[in-house]
Amino acid sequence: MLILIAFGILSAVALGSGVMVITRRNAIHSVIWLIVTLFAVGGIFLLQHAEFLFAVQIILYVGGIMVLFLFVVMLVNIDVALKQAQFSRQWQLGLFTAVLVFAQLVYVIYKIGAGLSLPTQPPGPEPAHNTQAIGQALYQTYMLPVEIASLLLLVAMVGAVIMAKRKFE
Partner 1 sequence: MIPTAYYILLGSGLFTIGVIGVLTRRNVLIILMSIELILNAVNINLVALSQYFRSVDGQVFAIFVITDAAAEAAVGLGLIIALFRNKETVNADEIDLLKW
Q: Annotate each residue in 28-67 with x if it binds partner 1 (CB under 8 A) or - if it does not, as one string.
A: --xx--x--xx--x--xx-xxxx-xx--xx--xx--xx--
34's enclosing H/E stretch is helix 27-47
**Complex with partner 1: residue 99 or 168, whichever CB lies closer:** 99
Distance CA 2, CA 10 (A): 12
How many C-beta atoms surround the C-beta of residue 31 within 10 A? 18
Residue 95 CB-half CA count within 13 A? 9
User: At residue 132, what is the residue type?
Assistant: Q
Among 2, 79, 117, 128, binds partner 1 (CB under 8 A): 117
Sequence-distant (6+) residues with CB within 8 A of 138 are 146
- In whole angstroms, the minimum distance from the beta carbon of 169 to partner 1 comes to 14
- In whole angstroms, the minimum distance from the beta carbon of 135 to partner 1 comes to 9
Q: Does 83 bind partner 1 (CB under 8 A)?
A: no
Number of residues that bind partner 1 (CB under 8 A): 91
Q: 92 to 111, contacts with partner 1 by CB under 8 A?
A: 93-95, 97-99, 101-102, 105-106, 109
Q: 3 to 32, contacts with partner 1 by CB under 8 A?
A: 3-4, 7, 11, 14-15, 18-19, 21-22, 24, 27, 30-31
User: At residue 62, what is the residue type?
Assistant: V
Distance CA 151, CA 168 (A): 27
Sequence-distant (6+) residues with CB within 8 A of 81 are 27
Q: Annotate each residue in 119-158 with x if it binds partner 1 (CB under 8 A) or - if it does not, as one string.
A: xxxx-x-xx--x--xx--xx--xx--x---x--xx-xxx-
